[in-house]
Amino acid sequence: MSIQKDILLKDLTTFRIGGPAKHFCVVRNEDELIEAVNFSKKYRVPFFVLGGGSNILVADEGFEGIVIKMEMKGVTYKEEGTDVFVTASAGENWDSFVSQIVEKGLYGLENLSYIPGTVGAAPVQNIGAYGSELKDTVISVHVLDVVKDEYKDLSNTECKFSYRDSIFKEDPKKYIVLSVTFRLSNRGTLNIGYKDVQEYFDFKKIKEPTLKQVRNAVIEIRQRKLPDVKEYGTAGSFFKNVIVPNAQAQALLKKYPEMILHKVNDKKVKIPIAWILDHVCGFRGVKKGNVGTFRNQALVLINHGGATAAEIIALAQKMVDEVYDKTGIEIEPEVEYVL
């Protein structure tokens, strides 16, 4: 395996922003991964594991360490009755994997269709969409514990999954994800209760959609609402939604009765920050210099071409301040900063 120098990260992220990685390598198997990690230890430089580059904002100055581009491939299946245990390697493209699963008639990941990125990145932020989250089907995550120099299987509970969060975010330098094992089913039930999905099938007058129809619906909805990464530099939702106690949500609802809340449990609800950014702060479809927000989704920041990380951060900060001033809510980036 060769370790390259000064590779421009802009070309490896969907935001199309970011300076060079001082050191860079592509890893396709465990030996190469160990070699890369040893390089980081030997020369005392930090490492950053790169998947599809679809949820990161890289500094204009670049990264002063080694970027490890994860390209381990492979998917295996083990059938047990109606359950199928599927293990996918970290470097697999997420949506190609989901497409393959749906083709085989396996239920459980269809609502997570068309999310950019790789399998290895999926557990890090517990990807979620249309009422499903990765944690609903994960059995275990196979990792390299970089600190202890050993391989481990972390159970679903050990991964500490919650909304856009996991143990992998707690300490990003401890584990590197090698593969993820899911329990999927030959005879699952479909989750079509989320508003956008329900409206789609109501409109099409389809009462009992098939697995494939649900995947296609999610793809269509996403294509309509979210920018195409081939057309725009973007990392999808830039901020997380905010989970607050019922009382705080009720107070907001009094002020803004049209806002739709999502119940998390009996005590908490999720506030749709996109709605607040749009209807309270007027941030949908704004453009300033090379940056802006998407015309159909105020939560999505866009590089209109030639934007710098500094410009994105300045716009994001303006959005954070405005939401706080108008609602008292503190919003946090969902996109990971590589600074």
Contacting residues toward ligand EPU, per CB under 6 A: 129-130, 225-226, 236-237, 240-241, 260, 272, 274-275, 278-279, 284, 297-299, 334
The whole-angstrom separation of Cα 307 and Cα 304 is: 7
**Burial classification of residue 66, based on how many CB atoms lie within 10 Å of its CB (0-12 exposed, 13-18 middle, 19 or more buried):** buried
Structure tokens at 140: 């275990």
Hey, CA dihedral for 304, 308, 311, 313, is it positive or negative? Answer: positive
Rounded to 5 degrees, what angle do the CA atoms 127, 131, 132 make?
45
Q: Smaller CB distance to ligand EPU: residue 146 or 197?
A: 197
- For residue 58, the surrounding DSSP H or E stretch is strand 56-58
Q: Which of 110, 132, 237, 284 is catalytic?
A: 237
Task: Report the Cα 43 to chain-centroid distance in Å.
Answer: 31
Residue whose entry in the numeric block shows the structure tokens 């517990």:
126
CB of 236 to ligand EPU, least distance (A): 3
Closer to ligand EPU by Cβ: residue 40 or 111: 111
By DSSP bridging, strand 138-145 and strand 150-155 are: antiparallel
Segment holding 275, helix H or strand E: helix 273-275
CA-closest candidate to residue 274, choices 248, 297, 254, 242:
297
What letter does residue 153 receive in the DSSP assignment?
Answer: E
Provide, rounded to whole angstroms, the least separation between the CB of residue 1 and ligand EPU: 32
- Strand 20-27 to 63-70 pairing: parallel
Distance from the Cα of residue 133 to its chain's centroid: 11
Nearest by Cα to 287 from 305, 309, 269, 271: 305
Query: Known catalytic residue: 334?
Result: yes
Report the distance separating Cα 48 and Cα 151, nearest Å: 18
Nearer CB in complex with ligand EPU: 20/236:
236
Helices (H) and strands (E) in the chain, counts: 8, 20
Choose between 11 and 258: whose C-beta lies nearer to ligand EPU.
258
Known catalytic residue at 166: no
Identify the helix (H) or strand (E) that includes residue 39.
helix 30-42
From the candidates 164, 215, 222, 284, which is the catalytic residue?
A: 164
- Identify the CA nearest to 336 among candidates 53, 26, 132, 40: 53
Pick 158 or 336: Cβ nearer ligand EPU: 336
Q: Which residue's Cβ lies closest to ligand EPU?
A: 236
**Nearest distance from C-beta of residue 299 to ligand EPU, angstroms:** 5
With respect to ligand EPU, which residue has the nearer C-beta, 241 or 303?
241
Whichever of 34 and 320 has its CB closer to ligand EPU, that residue is 320
* Secondary element (H or E) of residue 97: helix 94-103
Active site amino acids: 164, 237, 334
